[in-house]
């Protein structure tokens, strides 16, 4: 669990609520179901229209990585690489087949399979780099739904404000209905700007860093697989590996 992300979200919401209280306002005045529906549903529709169903579904699924980041397997991966390189040097490339069967992650298993199949190192790099490019393009396309939501939400919030003012103008003869319309108008803007800058855009930027880290890991594995296929010494491979460590 990424407690920093949870704490950041809680702190952002608390800042708005405490600020409202310090100004002498009532917390209940920020709760406007009509404004919430206008902003959230309107933004959702705009994002879905832009992205399409596959990217939208994948982008929503990626939300899990914000609060529960992928497990860091750097230590175990380093040990595995050491075993692979030593085994390949000592017993030959075909000996990696038994290690390949133990790997569950698709990209890593594919790299080992290419080595076992005796593919030229340059071809291995070409194939794996194509995989990396495809992965990165797909993931970035999916996470763009959060960036798009951050762009649409303020505008939809303004739309909600206009709708609230229209409601006010239609009921000028009934003072009892004026307060509700004005509240929807202003709270819709708060929802739009607040969700964009405190939720949607931070989520987008966090997911960009998650994707970038996974791309870095795959690029490292590509270098290692090519080194093993070239028959490089285990020490050389360790030096390559250390270059990727922060």
Domain carrying residue 198: 32-243
pLDDT band at 75 (very low <50, low <70, confident <90, very high): low
86 and 26 together in one domain: no
Higher-confidence residue: 223 or 5?
223
- For residue range 132-151, what is the model confidence (pLDDT) as tens digits? 999 999 999 999 999 999 99
Residue 65 pLDDT > 70, yes or no? Answer: yes
0.75 exceeded by pTM: yes
Q: Count of domains in the chain?
A: 2
Mean per-residue pLDDT of the chain: 84
3 and 106 together in one domain: no
What is the reported pLDDT for 192? 92
Average pLDDT in the 85-104 region? 82
| Distance (Å, whole) CA 202 – CA 147 | 9
3 and 19 together in one domain: yes
What is the reported pLDDT for 25? 66
Burial 180-201 (b: 16+ CB within 10 A, else e): ebebbbbbbbbbbebbbebbbb
- Calculate what percentage of the chain has a pLDDT beyond 90: 37
Average pLDDT in the 96-113 region? 86
- Calculate what percentage of the chain has a pLDDT beyond 70: 89
pLDDT band at 95 (very low <50, low <70, confident <90, very high): confident
95 and 81 together in one domain: yes
Burial 96-132 (b: 16+ CB within 10 A, else e): beebbeebeeebbebbbebbbeebebeebbebbeebb
150 and 177 together in one domain: yes
2 and 123 together in one domain: no
26 and 44 together in one domain: no
What is the reported pLDDT for 124? 92
What is the reported pLDDT for 179? 63
Residue 120 pLDDT > 70, yes or no? Answer: yes
26 and 143 together in one domain: no
38 and 21 together in one domain: no
pLDDT band at 240 (very low <50, low <70, confident <90, very high): confident
DSSP state, residue 71: P
231 and 118 together in one domain: yes
15 and 124 together in one domain: no
Decide: 217 and 241 in contact? Cβ < 8 Å. no
11 and 87 together in one domain: no
- For residue range 197-218, what is the model confidence (pLDDT) as tens digits? 999 999 999 999 999 999 999 9
């Amino acid at each position: 669990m990424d407690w920093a992300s949870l704490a950041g979200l809680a702190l952002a919401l608390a800042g708005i609520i405490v600020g409202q209280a310090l100004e002498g306002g009532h917390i209940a005045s920020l709760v406007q179901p009509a404004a919430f529906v206008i902003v959230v549903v309107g933004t959702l529709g705009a994002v879905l229209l832009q992205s399409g169903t596959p990217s939208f579904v994948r982008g929503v699924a990626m939300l899990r990585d914000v609060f529960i980041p992928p497990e860091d397997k750097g230590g175990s991966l380093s040990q595995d690489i050491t075993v692979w390189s030593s085994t390949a040097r000592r017993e030959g490339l075909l000996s990696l087949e038994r290690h390949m069967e133990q790997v569950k992650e698709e990209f890593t298993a594919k790299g080992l399979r290419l080595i076992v199949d005796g593919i030229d190192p340059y071809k291995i790099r070409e194939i794996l780099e194509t995989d990396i490019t495809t992965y990165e393009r797909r993931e970035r396309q999916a996470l763009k739904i959060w960036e798009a939501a951050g762009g649409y939400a303020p505008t939809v919030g303004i739309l909600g404000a206009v709708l609230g003012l229209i409601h006010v103008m239609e009921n000028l003869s009934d003072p009892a209905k004026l307060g509700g319309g004005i509240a929807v108008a202003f709270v819709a803007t708060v929802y739009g700007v607040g969700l964009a800058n405190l939720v949607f855009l931070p989520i987008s930027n966090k997911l960009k860093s998650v994707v970038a880290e996974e791309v870095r890991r795959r690029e490292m594995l590509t270098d290692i697989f090519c080194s093993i296929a070239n028959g490089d010494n285990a020490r050389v491979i360790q030096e390559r590996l250390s270059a990727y460590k922060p």
